[in-house]
A and B are shown apart, each in its own frame.
Chain A
Amino acid sequence: DSGVTQTPKHLITATGQRVTLRCSPRSGDLSVYWYQQSLDQGLQFLIQYYNGEERAKGNILERFSAQQFPDLHSELNLSSLELGDSALYFCASSVAQGLDSPLHFGNGTRLTVT
Chain B
Amino acid sequence: GENVGLHLPTLSVQEGDNSIINCAYSNSASDYFIWYKQESGKGPQFIIDIRSNMDKRQGQRVTVLLNKTVKHLSLQIAATQPGDSAVYFCAENPPGNQFYFGTGTSLTVIP
Report which A residues bind B (CB closer than 8 A). Answer: 2, 4, 6, 39-45, 48, 55-58, 90, 92, 99-100, 102-108
Contact = CB atoms under 8 A, between A and B. Distances in A.
B6 A48 contact: no
A6 to B, nearest CB: 8
B4 to A, nearest CB: 7
Given A2-B43, A2-B46, A58-B97, 4 more contacts: A39-B6, A41-B4, A56-B97, A99-B98
B5 interface: yes
B35 to A, nearest CB: 10
Interface string B51-94: 00000000000000000000000000000000000000101010
Given A56-B97, A58-B98, A42 B43 contact: no
Interface of B: 3-6, 31-32, 34, 36, 41-46, 49, 89, 91, 93, 97-99, 101-104
B86 to A, nearest CB: 13
Contacts of A108: 42-43
A100 B43 contact: no
B6 A41 contact: yes
Contact of B99 (A2, A6, A40, A99): A99
Contacts of A106: 43
B50 to A, nearest CB: 11
Contact of A42 (B4, B31, B42, B45): B4
A102 B18 CA distance: 25
A43 B3 contact: yes
A105 B34 contact: no
B44 A105 contact: yes
What 4 pairs between A and B have smallest CB-CB spacing? A42-B3, A56-B97, A105-B43, A99-B93
A103 B45 CA distance: 9
Nearest to B89: A42
Contacts of B98: 45, 48, 56, 58, 99
Nearest to B51: A100
**For B42, B99, B104, which residue has the most chain A Cβ atoms within 10 angstroms?**
B99
Nearest to B31: A100
